Structure 1
Amino acid sequence: MNLREEYEKLEEKILSPLATLSSKSKGRLKKEEKCSIRTDFQRDRDRIIHSKAFRRLKHKTQVFIAPEGDHYRTRLTHTLEVAQIARTISRAIRLNEDLTEAIALGHDLGHTPFGHTGESALNEITSIGFKHNEQSLRVVDYLEKGEGLNLTFEVRDGILCHSGDLIPKTNEGKVVKLADKIAYINHDIDDAIRAGILTLDDLPKECIKVLGKGHSERINTMIRAVIEHALKYGEIALVGEVGEATWELRKYMFDNVYIDSEAKKEEEKARSVLKQLFLYYIKHPEVMPKEFYEKVQVYGLERIVCDYIAGMTDRYAIHEFNKLFIPMPWKLKF
């Protein structure tokens, strides 16, 4: 029995017309034999979970750089929260959960150390520009395993289009794009309150009146609004009163937490670390690992240096900086 084919038939029976069917995928960059057990989207999800880039997310900043405490979000826990929210929405409106989950788990694979601070630092110092969503696609297309993961078109599109003005071509991708915002708005509030930067009373009262006081209550309100709109209008969007309150709350977070707050006091140090690493590797590309240095002729020096730095965890970037720029004690031999 071909279990994949059986599951593809089941998708055709139970999923909404809004869903993307595994059997209708536009395929991969390189053709390969299909799995007899898993659909193409299930294979993509598994490839992402088992990748080194995914594991490194546990030591990459979400918002707080080097926080003292075990309960602050990292890029990995953020990714898992996005996946949970996106799957809840997709299941409720009968979209393809496997596609949704694969996109969600892969959307931040290209994020730099030190979060968006690192992203902006690389974007400023390189002449070719740097965006984390484009780097995430580059990770799954070229960098992971030295040849990429050969994911499906639909997953690759969702990863690329989860950020900025790009619009995903699948409804599952649109769900992840919204889930990303729902997740970070709420968990960043939670972390900011934990850090003493905000109190619940500081949050805009009109927004809280609409969305709810508690963390789970606000998430539930946003998720329900997306689901109800999708079921009624066949459109993936967060609009109306809940949408307006959500985007106002997001603006509040940018004004009070993401920019010039106590949470960001280490930013300039982080920016300096990545910029100095970039300049050093541009002058001394041979000190990069062999698998990167060998690709300079293929992709160009700046792109490879960005690839190398973007793949670092926070602590590895600091380790490399210390090794290259901080004098080490001279060890006496007795």
Structure 2
Amino acid sequence: MSTNCENQIRLNFPDKGSMPALGFGTYAPGESEEDVYKAVQVAIKAGYRHLDCAAIYRNERAVGQAIKKTIVEDKVTREDLFVVSKLWNTCHKPDLVRTSLKKSMEDLGLQYLDLYLIHWPIGLKEGGDFIPKDEKGNVLFSDVDFVETWKVMEDCVDEGLVKYIGLSNFNSEQIKRVLDVARIKPVVNQVECHIYLSQEKLIEFCNTHGIIVTAYSPFASPGHKKMPYAPCMQDPTIIEIAKSKGKKPSQVILRFLLQRDIAVVAKSVTSDRIIENFQVFDFELNDEEMKKILALNKNHRTNTEDIALSHKYYPFSIEF
């Protein structure tokens, strides 16, 4: 782990490249493109340099406009930013990968991406909606093997369309299948990770293979219907530690994840919250505090992707 001049934590790739550990998430369901456009500008001006995007978020054009505006205003250069996007499930067929990547690049207004991920190991039927369904409302699957998808992801690196490639929501067995054939190894696996889902075994597995874990839903999707526990930010242990540090519970949670040497994607469209979430580099948690928070784990997953429970590549049927 190393830091740059702004004291933001960076995580190193095997080739000596690196990525900012704290990312700004652009998934904003129910929010307008204008809200996302403004939020990304606030985030960049607050110091975020890692922007996490995806085709399925359906707002990459707004993100791209915000990037362009901040560059024009001389707030950042393109080289300052680490921009991530993801290949959606309906584009796993090898002949669709490059087209999907180029569409994200076009919407974002960029000549290259820093990191491109396979969003899920699960393939859905090509050529239709983001979530294709039959007349009875059943989700339609594709049987394409993600290993074949990976081979074209590698070609995209060769062509200079993207610097790094990785995975998202892959379990250890699926990662191993990719590693067994990979000419270019995945550098990241982005998964749900928070105080109630510590992902210790998966993180250890990824570390062993030189893969950085990026945590999404760091606050365990507050208000999620499947959350049987108190929201993370209302947990008594988190509140106690936050008070002792003069920090917000959200900041303690983000700091906890960062100190585990993983990347974290925090999202919000509220300016104050965006700025607050970035103010996590001026304090540390001690070993005892880290152990207390780690003990909160309940192996509880909120993003279960139930629409694909019967898919042959459903990732959450094994422990990690």
Fold shared by both chains (TM-score > 0.5): no
Compute the TM-score of the two structures, normalised by the length of structure 1.
0.30
**Higher relative strand content:** 2
TM-score by length of 2: 0.31
* Structure having the higher Rg: 1
* Higher helix content, 1 or 2: 1
